[in-house]
Structure 1
Amino acid sequence: MTSRSKTSKLAATPTKLKLRKGDQVQVLSGKDRGQTGVIMRVLPKDDKVIVEGVNVAKKHQRQTQARIKGGIIDKDMPISASAVALICSKDGPTRVGYRINDDGTKTRICRKCGKEI
């Protein structure tokens, strides 16, 4: 008789993303490499972001009372947060760092030039 051990599914712990809604980002890899857009939504549990106009898929939508018109719509799909980089106004795509000010507040900075974002 063999005993099968239960495999525990570890819950995906949300990672601390340094990207925020409204940030201007550039895609670093994938089919949309080089495109820029604004982050519309951040999904920290999945480590993904939804960028406006990037990774667009066609979705067949049924006509309902809430949505009068049915048909094929364009839907922005999530993209991995590691595949995008924040755009600095001076240096272009860059990583994000943190600086703790004298008054104890934490601000995001550009890793290339050190300027506040």
Structure 2
Amino acid sequence: WANLETALDWIQSAGGVAVIAHPARYRMTASKLRRLITEFRAGGGEGLEVVSGSHSKDNISAMAALCRNGELLASCGSDYHGPENPWIRLGQLPALPAGCRPVWESDRWPVQ
């Protein structure tokens, strides 16, 4: 696997917006997740997936707070990978919580 700095460089060089996907699934302590976010931001990372098909309501609230406190853009995604995962419902996600700026509002978002 690429290290964080290299991965961020690849994403930025391709014109993308780097986002940490489904952060509640990593089984990190809160302090380790905050440290990851700090390093991610320092390397040019811009977003955090706040709403995911695998996030509980409590996860969403916690990720929204991390997003706002870390001044990150917010993303959402079902994490749907096909019908073999029937517990993930395609396209049926809650809205981003209030106070979270969506990643697609970034000036660097590739499609305007």
Using the size of structure 1 for normalisation, the TM-score is 0.22
If asked which structure has higher relative contact order (CA below 8 Å, sep 6+), I would say 2
Structure with the higher fraction of residues in helix conformation: 2
Larger radius of gyration: 1
Using the size of structure 2 for normalisation, the TM-score is 0.22
